Amino acid sequence: GAGVSQSPRYKVAKRGQDVALRCDPISGHVSLFWYQQALGQGPEFLTYFQNEAQLDKSGLPSDRFFAERPEGSVSTLKIQRTQQEDSAVYLCASSPIPQGYEQYFGPGTRLTVT
């Protein structure tokens, strides 16, 4: 079946622009996670949804980062007034159970801020 998809795959933004990154989880998956992966590093947790509820946003690095999942399926990660340090790959993962025990990752969106 279809896996987790993310769009766009690549995004170049000028510093100060707003960007929106989309994640389509596997159909029926309850849990959804966003991670940020800097070059040469492992992914770092940003935020977690169980259905439409955002239960943990402790990893969001600043108030410029905002995520939503209004209908409990597709999620959008929005970054306002992008900075160069926001350049990274943004990964989305979904899981079929509430505690997200096994996570299925999308291919990621590579964001470059110039």
Which residues lie near another protein (CB under 8 A)? 3-4, 31, 33, 35, 40-45, 48, 50, 55-56, 58-59, 91, 93, 95, 98-108
**C-alpha dist (Å) from residue 17 to 36, 51, 60, 79:** 19, 29, 18, 8
Q: Are 67 and 76 in contact (CB under 8 A)?
A: yes
Question: What is the nearest approach in angstroms of another protein to the Cβ of residue 42?
Answer: 3
Cα separation, 32 vs 55, in Å, equals 10
Q: Is 57 left (phi over 0), alpha (psi -120 to 50) or beta?
A: alpha
Nearer to another protein (CB atom), residue 33 or residue 65: 33
Q: Shortest gap between Cβ of 105 and another protein (angstroms)?
A: 4
CB 31 within 8 A of CB 69: no
Minimum separation from the CB atom of position 64 to another protein (A): 21
Task: Output 67 or 82, the one with its CB closest to another protein.
Answer: 67
**Choice between 9 and 78, CB closer to another protein:** 9
Instruction: CB nearer to another protein: give 17 or 54.
Output: 54
Q: Taking the complex as a whole, how short is the minimal distance between the CB of residue 45 and another protein, in angstroms?
A: 4
Enumerate residues 6+ apart whose C-beta is below 8 A from 28.
96
